Amino acid sequence: MFAFLDRFLSRSEASRDTAKNRLKLVLMQDRSVIPPAVLERIRTEVLAVLHRYVEIDQGALELNLDRSEGSVALLASVPIVRVREDATQLLADAVAADAAAATAVPSEGAPAEAASAGADADSVIEAVATGLAGALSETAADAQVGTEATAGEAEADDASLARPAGEAALT
Amino acid sequence: MATGRVIVVTSGKGGVGKTTTTANLGMALATMGEKVALIDADIGLRNLDLILGLENRIVYDIVDVVEKRCKLRQALIKDKRMPNLVLLPAAQTRDKSAVTPEQMKELIADLQSDGFGFILIDCPAGIEQGFRNATAGATEAVIVTNPEVSAVRDADRIVGLLEAAELRNPSLIVNRLRPHLVKNETMMSVEDVQEILNIKLLGIVPDDEAIINSSNRGEPVSLHEAAKSGQAYRNIARRLRGEDVPFLQFDEGGLMGRLRRFLTGVR
């Protein structure tokens, strides 16, 4: 009864539910075939690629495994501080050099405008790669990359369609 | 050909009640007329003898058998209260490497040909060689857990390891349930644990002071008619024999508990 009142007054979650939720999260990692060390490596590599094009709030980067309906998804939330001014040039270079690995590329076609728009810290790139569990070697086969740039000036650069990540689509 | 069922009782985490469960299920099954052999696979940390009250009767142990210092039958301790229950004790002065999975399999085959209908193996905590030995000859697995985060996490790991060892469809015993804490929402319920682990529920055993008392005396609680936990173990034994026994009702109290049971259909 006291526990109930306490929860009612403080609006804190019942520890039973906390236990359940924490377990679900930790078991997601335990059950996935991606060991933490590999996940960390994916994180640093994805970060390195993103870093070439955009300035990222590294502290706020989140990379998590999500399990639903028998498949494991890798969810990345990457807060963008600023898009680099030379992003387009870099992109062209990168495509030429056949940049490897799954990554998000900037959708901005006009670097000048993008640079100012990029100052908006709300810009977030969310990358979802499903089916990772069974396909470590093809890390981002089904990568879906969406950018929520608030500037509204974003146009898909032709070059960006040539990114290596298989069926990736911009939204 | 040998048809005795070989069931490993395991958990991953220590202290959740594997040994108590093994002792009580063995005793309950024997009470029901089954010919039961219990194997203590926790070499170096033997305790099943103590819980059964047989500690003073050990002459030979499992390592003596595999190292051929005695015959299997010489090492089996007959329970005087229940003549169709025997214990093969663990060695206390050796470690898990004293027995190999192959030797376990041989030993179990010998017990099966001796006509034991149930062979229960008390698995040590952990996932190393002791676990591999204990699961080697088993054809079924029972996972014991407590409604508590670390025990459930370890149980989940065990499910995966059992699968890798070709022991599919393990069943679950939720031990040490404290119904009033569940009612207060400060303990996970059996349904919570089951939802997370997603394996078949075999039984629910309430946390019970009678178990401490019975361990103190070396008399498994399943021998005590009145104890709720004893009743729970007897029910599990009956389920193992194929009977359909409803799960124990713990008074969740009040309208909400009844409502929840009604809505979830959980008995």
| B228 in contact with chain A, both atoms CB, cutoff 8 A | no
Per the structure, the count of domains in chain B is 1
- Inter-chain touch A23–B189, beta carbons under 8 Å: no
Question: Which pLDDT belongs to residue A129?
Answer: 42
Using one digit for the tens of pLDDT, what is the confidence trace for B62-119? 999 999 999 999 999 999 999 999 999 999 999 999 999 999 999 999 999 999 999 9
Does residue A80 share a domain with residue A18? Answer: no
Closest by Cβ to A19, choosing from B156, B184, B188: B188
The better pLDDT of the pair B74, A36 is held by: B74
Interface of B with A in 127-156 (CB under 8 A): 148-149, 152-153, 156
pLDDT tens for each residue of A74-97: 788 888 888 888 877 777 777 777
ipTM of the complex: 0.82
For residue A56, tell me if it sits in a domain: yes
pLDDT of residue B234: 98
A14/A89 same-domain check: no
CATH number for the domain spanning B146: value is: 3.40.50.300
Question: Binning pLDDT at 50, 70 and 90, where does residue A163 land?
Answer: very low
Residue A3 lies in a domain: yes
Domain assignment present for A38: yes
Confidence grade of residue A73 (pLDDT, cut at 50, 70, 90): confident
Say whether pLDDT at B122 is over 50: yes
Across the interface, do B185 and A20 touch by the CB < 8 Å criterion?
no
| Predicted pLDDT at A70 | 55
CA angle B208, B213, B219 (to 5 degrees): 110
Confidence of residue A47 (pLDDT cuts 50, 70, 90): confident
Whether A11 is covered by a domain: the verdict is yes
Query: Cβ–Cβ of A15/B185 closer than 8 Å?
Result: yes
The residue to which tokens 């490497």 are assigned: B97
Domain assignment of residue A171, yes or no: no
pLDDT band at A144 (very low <50, low <70, confident <90, very high): very low
Q: Nearest by CB to B186, from A16, A24, A26: name it.
A: A16
What is the per-residue pLDDT across A149-160, written as a single tens digit (0 to 9) for each? 333 333 333 333
Are residues A66 and A109 both part of a single domain? yes
Residue A108: per-residue pLDDT: 42
**Binary contact (A16, B160; C-beta < 8 A):** no
Q: Nearest to residue A108, comparing CAs of A170, A56, A45?
A: A170
State the smallest CA–CA distance between residue A7 and chain B in angstroms: 10
Residue A145 has a pLDDT of 36
Do A6 and A16 have their domain in common? Answer: yes
pLDDT at residue B41 in the model = 98
Is residue B20 very low, low, confident or very high in pLDDT (cuts 50, 70, 90)? very high
- pLDDT given at position A165: 30
- Looking at the fold, whether A88 and A41 belong to one and the same domain comes out as yes
The answer on A40 and A23 residing in a single domain is: no
Reported as a single tens digit per residue, the pLDDT across B22-74 is 999 999 999 999 999 999 999 999 999 999 999 999 999 999 999 999 999 99
Q: Tokens for B237?
A: 């034994």
- To test the contact with chain A by mutation, choose from B162, B186, B252 the residue with the greatest count of A C-beta atoms within 10 A, namely B186
Residue A167 lies inside a defined structural domain of this protein: no
Q: Are residue A15 and residue A84 in the same domain, yes or no?
A: no
Which residues span the domain enclosing A135? 33-162
Among candidates A14, A24, A27 on the partner chain, residue whose Cβ is nearest the Cβ of B185: A14
In this structure, are A40 and A12 located in the same domain?
no
Overall number of domains in chain A: 2
Closest Cα in chain B, distance from residue A13 (Å): 9
Of A18-27, A131-140, B124-133, B190-199, the poorest mean pLDDT is in: A131-140
What confidence tens digit (pLDDT) does each residue in B175-210 have?
999 999 999 999 999 999 999 999 999 999 999 999
Q: Do A27 and A42 belong to one domain?
A: no
| Residue-number span of the structural domain to which B56 is assigned | 5-264
Instruction: Identify the top-confidence range among A102-106, A126-130, B153-157, B161-165.
Output: B153-157
Q: Among A41-45, A113-117, B132-136, B148-152, name the one with the lowest average pLDDT.
A: A113-117
Whether A3 and A38 map to the same domain: the answer is no
Residues A111 and A69 in one domain: yes
**Between A135 and B148, residue with greater pLDDT:** B148
- Which residue on chain B is closest to A7 by alpha carbon? B185
**A154 and A133 belong to one structural domain:** yes
Distance from CA of A141 to the nearest CA of B (A): 27
